[in-house]
Amino acid sequence: FCKHVVDIDENLRPLDEVIVVNQNDELLAIGRLKLPISYIKSFSSGVAVNVRKGVYKSKI
């Protein structure tokens, strides 16, 4: 969601393939950017990335 985006590459465009990482640079997901960067930065709600594949860390 847009409100969770802390940093984003300014060269990305909608429909670009992107990786989603946490603040420790650990991979969380891959997907396609849904909105222009300016919208993502200004919106406090809405989907920023259509996630295709998420990474699940087992607690075991």
For 5-38, what is each residue's pLDDT tens digit?
Answer: 888 889 999 999 999 998 888 898 999 999 998 8
Domain limits, the chain: 2-53
Fold of the CATH domain 2-53: 2.30.130
Q: Which pTM was predicted? A: 0.73
For 6-15, what is each residue's pLDDT tens digit?
Answer: 888 899 999 9
Cα–Cα dist 58/46, whole Å: 28
Tokens of 33: 């950017």
Q: What is the DSSP string of 18-33?
A: EEEE-TT--EEEEEEE
